[in-house]
Amino acid sequence: MAFVDQAQVELKAGKGGDGIVSFRHEKFVAMGGPFGGDGGHGGSIILKVDEGLRTLMDFRYNRHFKAQSGGKGGTKGMTGASAEDRIISVPQGTIVSDADTGEVLGDMVHEGQTLLVARGGRGGRGNIHFATPANPAPELSENGEPGQVRRIKLELRVLADVGLVGFPSAGKSTLLSVVSNAKPKIAAYHFTTINPNIGMVRLSDDRDFVMADLPGLIEGASEGVGLGFQFLRHVERTRVILHLVDMSGIEGQDPYTQYRKILTELEQYDPTILERPQIVVGTKMDMPDSQENYEKFVSEVKADSGLKFEPEIMAISAVTHKGVDDLLRATADMLDKAPVPESYKVEEETDAEAKLYKFEEEQAEVSVDWDAELDCWIISGPEVEKLAAMTNLQREATIMRFARQLRHMGVDDKLREAGAKDGDDVRINNSNFIFEYSD
C-alpha cells in the first residue's frame, strides 16, 4: 500500500431543519395560537484519531464528506430530529489546517482525540417563537441555517520517539529490522525505503520506544532533491535522532562529508531539529576498512569547531549485533531526559470550536457591487447570505421581515451610496433571491 501523508478534502456540514407555521386547532381551545415547532440541528463533521490508521490513504479517492440535514419541525411545538454528526477517522500525527486561510485548526496526536471542523446549521424557528402581543398569530418561520462548508488540508507527520536519518544505504532499515518486529525492505541499492517504517523497540529492562526509519536523505533534500522534503517533515515529531553514517567506504563517500551534508539539510529545513538530542551512529563496522574510517571520523567530528553541539558517537554492526544493545540503552536514557517537542502540544478543543464561531463573526460585513453581465446589483457577505438562505420565500410575512433585516444591516444605505436607482434589480449572492430596489 502506498504511503500517503498529505490530502485535501471538502466538507459540508448538515443544514438545519426548517421551522414550520402551524396553529393550534383543538376543540374547546379558543384562539389556540401558533404551534409550529423548530427544525432539528444539522450534523457536524468531526475528525477523530484512530491509532489503527497509518496513512491518509482513505482520503486519496474520497475527498468529499457531507453530514445529514436536520429534520423539519412538527406541529404541537415539536422539534424536528437532529442529525447525527459525521465522524471521520484520521491517523495519529495529523495536522489539520484550513486550505483557504492556512490557519492550523488542530494537531491530532492522542488516541480518541476529536476536532470539530465543520459545524452543522441550527434548526430554523417555528412560528411559536414569533408571537407577540401585537401579532399573536404570526405566519413567520425560519428555514434551517446552512451547514458550514470548508476545505481542509490534512498533513500526516509520523509519530515516533526515535527517528533514523542518514544517506541512502546507511543501514537504517537493517537496524530497525534487528531491534524491532518491523519488516522494512532491505536491498543493496539506494532508496530501498521510500515510505517511513515504524517499529516498537523493547529493552530487557522493560523500557520501550517507537523507532521510525525515515527515507534516505541526500544533498539538496531541503530543496526537493531526491525524495525531497516530503519526508523531512516527519523528523519534526521525533524526540531523539539517530544519525546513521556508513563507515564501510564501499560507496566511495567520505563518512564525515556525508555526515555534514545531512546536518546541513536538517538545518536548512528547520534549525530547531539540531537542538534535539542526537546520537551519531557509525554503521557497518563488520566491513574491512570500517574501524580505520571510524577512528578518522571521530577525530574529524571532535575537531570541527563549526558544530553547534557535541554529539555522542557510537559504533555498531547490525549484522553481527555488535554495539546494538549499548546503542538502545543509550537511546532510552536520552529519551528519559528529552523534552517534548512543541509540535506535540495541542490546543484545547474548546478553543478550536470557538474559532469556528469567530470565523463567521469576523466576516459579518456586507458589500454591494454592480454586475454588468447580470445587469443587477449583487449583495454579498456571510451574514446576509445566511439570512437569505433562512428566509422562507413562500410566505409574505417572512419576506417582509427579511427586508427589515436588510435595512437594519445598512444594505439600503449602501445601495443608495453605490448609485442604485428605483427599479434596479438586486440579487443576493449565491442564491436565486432577486428583488427590485425602491428608494
45 is in an annotated binding site: no
Q: Is 167 annotated as ligand-binding?
A: yes
Phi and psi at 357, nearest 5°, equal -75, -40
Q: Is 305 annotated as a binding residue?
A: no
Does 168 appear as a known binding residue?
A: yes
What CA–CA distance (Å, rounded) separates 147 from 274? 45
Residues, the chain:
439
255 is in an annotated binding site: no
Please indicate if the annotation marks 250 as binding a ligand.
no
- Residue linked to cell 491517523: 91
Are 391 and 433 a contacting pair, CB within 8 Å? yes
Does the annotation list 241 as a binding residue? no
Residue 200 annotated in ligand binding: no
For residue 191, say whether it is annotated as part of any ligand binding site.
yes
Does the annotation place 284 within a ligand binding site?
yes
346 marked ligand binding residue: no
Sequence-distant (6+) residues with CB within 8 A of 70 are: 14, 15, 16, 17, 39, 40, 41, 42, 43, 80, 81, 82, 83, 120, 121, 123, 144
Is 262 labeled as ligand-binding? no
The side-by-side arrangement of strands in the sheet containing 94-98 is 64-66, 6-12, 149-156, 94-98, 104-108
Q: At 434, is the secondary structure helix, strand, or coil?
A: strand
Q: Is 193 annotated as a binding residue?
A: yes
> Was 231 annotated as part of a binding site?
no
Q: How far is CA 383 from CA 343, 359, 360, 400, 426, in A?
A: 35, 12, 8, 17, 17
Ligand-binding site membership of 319 (annotated) = yes
- Asked if residue 194 belongs to a known ligand binding site, the reply is yes
Q: What is d(CA 259, CA 393) in angstroms, rounded to the nearest whole number?
A: 71
Give how far Cα 38 sits from Cα of 12, 112, 128, Å.
22, 33, 8
Residue 264 is assigned to a ligand binding site:
no
Is 132 annotated as ligand-binding?
no
Residues at the binding site for Mg(2+) are 173, 193
Binding residues for GTP: 166-173, 191-195, 213-216, 283-286, 317-319
List, as residue ranges, the binding site: 166-173, 191-195, 213-216, 283-286, 317-319
